[in-house]
Amino acid sequence: MAGVRLAAANCRIRYKDRLDLLLVELAEGTSVAGVFTQSLTASAPVIACREALKSGSARALVVNSGNSNAFTGKAGVAAVKQVQDASCELFGCAPSYFYMASTGVIGEKLPAEKITAALGGLKKELAEHTWNDAARAIMTTDTYPKMATRAAHIGGVRVTINGIAKGSGMIAPGMATMLAFIFTDAAIASPMLQSMLNEAVATTFNCITVDGDTSTSDTLLLFATGKAKNPAGDYDNFKQALHGLLQELALHIVKDGEGAEKLVTIAITGAASDIAARRIGMSIANSPLVKTAIAASDANWGRIVMAVGKAGEAADRDKLMIKIGGVIVARDGEADPSYKESQIEAHMKSRDIAIEVDVGVGTGKSKVWTCDLTHRYIDINSSYRT
């Protein structure tokens, strides 16, 4: 992509035999937008990115995996500054044009010297086509690199959008999710870019969950290099393409949830508002009882009723309707008289589970995505640091 060059390396921050450092050079004049974790224990890189975002411009991005540089006090701030100084010297840019993201273990000091020692060599390897290596360098417990691409038109000019993301556990975002970096050659000013990102995130990354835990490091950055030289104008086609790309990346994260075997789509209708519908959907999606039942291919729809009731949003028990795999299993406050569990046995054993719930109080609707909860989630997380 014009205006974006990438390189990845292994500098042994935590992993001895895999890529763990990404360097991205962005063309002069690149605009940027971003959304970040709402965690009150946000990492040092997140805080630095929030400050840099005020400039609306970007020239360099550094991402490391294996260490989140979160809850590391003044040492964490100093580590970001050390990498920032080295990167800005390398590219001759102001500190406000530098962005950094880190992912991995919380509470361990980031060995910034390993990163700065690798930057010079990485700069020599920068190239426009190393997207797979870039996606691999930001992985932690992910089982595969997550990438997506789209094309769109602005004012008759073709533009490209490429994106990479990582995430598998500690996923219940309130902004974006984990780490995601989106690049386009479109010419779009930062305020407009931010508006489009906020809108697209609301119904994509903000509607997925794996385990209900929001990371300290969640970062999504969108960079626009302007190299396509499109005129300002109608951005509708670009917005659609951006939304599609973000949704694809978000679903990759859910499908790759730690230990997951099934993707679960939950559609809520009849809520008091769209916000209420999302909260009800997330209550179902985050329920360990619902998720373990799905893992066992058990159509225990009573657990869905429970999750609706605990969501704290209006729902009419006697108008509630639940469908699984398109089959009505409950309505009007009780099990559907014609429902037989054999009708959905095959669906429950499939890798794509569909749940629909109408709560009977209004016109609000939302769709959220999650995965099942298997014993492998425990295995992965109980041995994460060892």
Which residues are annotated as catalytic?
Answer: 177
Token reading at 209 = 């969950």
Q: Are 46 and 52 in contact (CB under 8 A)?
A: no
CA distances from 170 to 70, 109, 257 (A): 14, 20, 9
Q: What is the DSSP string of 276-319?
A: HHHHHHHHHHT-HHHHHHHHTT---THHHHHHHHTSSS---TTT
Strand partners of residue 64? 21, 102
- Which residues have CB under 8 Å from 9's CB, separation 6+? 19, 20, 21, 23, 118, 121, 122, 125, 137
208 φ, ψ (degrees, to nearest 5) = -120, 155
Cα–Cα distance measured from residue 349 to residue 340, given in angstroms and rounded to the nearest whole number: 16
- Which residues have CB under 8 Å from 340's CB, separation 6+? none
Cα–Cα distance measured from residue 203 to residue 118, given in angstroms and rounded to the nearest whole number: 38
